């Protein structure tokens, strides 16, 4: 009798041990905590037609508040932006003041308060090759200014993640105004309605 009991006990424990899988939770005391009751977003369920789960985002989806920019980061993209891209933000005193403020934060360290390429970092020889905005060889336009802020150019980084679309355009206004000052042009007249 005793030996029969031992045999039964031994075979039982073997069965238990052989079923044990270390990679999984073997006993689920509260299954609801392991297996979720609601449908998983991308799970596959019979109730959806053609194994469709949650809808995938459309390729053209953009985040709210983000303005897509179509000109590529290439020399063709640069030239196209330079000739075709125009600043649609109205040229008002407020917009220019905002541009100046952002310019002082983000650009003046290299480009200088006047846009002559003699910023703080240039004077301390921390960075080389910063052009003046009246550099004739570059002949910057509002489109090219926006383009280089968006994509960066050589050692100058991109500002697309630091400023939103209207901020980039405000800075563009200010850069073009600095260019006019450097070239000794008449200041551009302000538009009356503000944006």
- Kindly list the residues in this chain that would bind ligand HEC in the complex (CB under 6 A): 106-107, 109-111, 127, 129-131, 138, 140, 144-145, 148-149, 153-156, 159, 171, 175
Closest separation between CB of residue 157 and ligand HEC, Å?
Answer: 7
Closest separation between CB of residue 118 and ligand HEC, Å?
Answer: 12
Closest to ligand HEC by CB, 96 vs 110, is: 110
For residues 108 and 170, the answer to whether their CB atoms sit within 8 Å is no
Closest separation between CB of residue 80 and ligand HEC, Å?
Answer: 13
Closest separation between CB of residue 64 and ligand HEC, Å?
Answer: 24
For residues 113 and 104, the answer to whether their CB atoms sit within 8 Å is yes
Closest to ligand HEC by CB, 31 vs 157, is: 157
| C-alpha gyration radius of the chain | 32
Closest to ligand HEC by CB, 92 vs 160, is: 160
* Residue 103 burial class via C-beta count within 10 angstroms: exposed 0-12, middle 13-18, buried 19 and up: buried
Closest to ligand HEC by CB, 46 vs 125, is: 125
Closest separation between CB of residue 171 and ligand HEC, Å?
Answer: 5
* Cβ burial 147-177 (10 Å sphere, 16+ → b, else e): bbbbbeeeebeebbeebebebbbbbbbbbbb
Of the candidates 24, 56, 71, the residue with the CA atom closest to the CA atom of residue 168: 71
Closest to ligand HEC by CB, 32 vs 154, is: 154
């Amino acid at each position: 009798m005793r030996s029969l009991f031992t045999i039964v006990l031994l075979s039982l424990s073997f069965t238990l041990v052989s079923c044990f899988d270390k990679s999984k939770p073997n006993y689920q005391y509260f299954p609801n905590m392991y297996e979720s009751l609601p449908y998983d977003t991308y799970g596959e369920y019979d109730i959806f037609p053609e194994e469709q789960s949650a809808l995938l985002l459309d390729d053209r989806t953009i985040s709210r508040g983000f303005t897509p920019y179509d000109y590529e980061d290439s020399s063709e993209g640069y030239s196209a932006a330079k000739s075709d891209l125009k600043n649609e933000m109205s040229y008002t005193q407020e917009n220019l003041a905002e541009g100046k403020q952002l310019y002082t934060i983000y650009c003046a360290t290299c480009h200088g308060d006047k846009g002559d390429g003699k910023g703080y970092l240039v004077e301390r020889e921390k960075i080389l090759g910063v052009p003046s905005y009246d550099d004739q060889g570059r002949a910057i336009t509002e489109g090219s200014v926006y383009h280089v802020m968006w994509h960066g150019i050589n050692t100058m980084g991109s500002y697309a993640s630091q400023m939103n679309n209207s901020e980039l355009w405000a800075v563009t206004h200010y850069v073009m105004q600095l260019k006019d000052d450097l070239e000794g042009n008449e200041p551009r007249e302000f538009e009356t309605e503000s944006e």
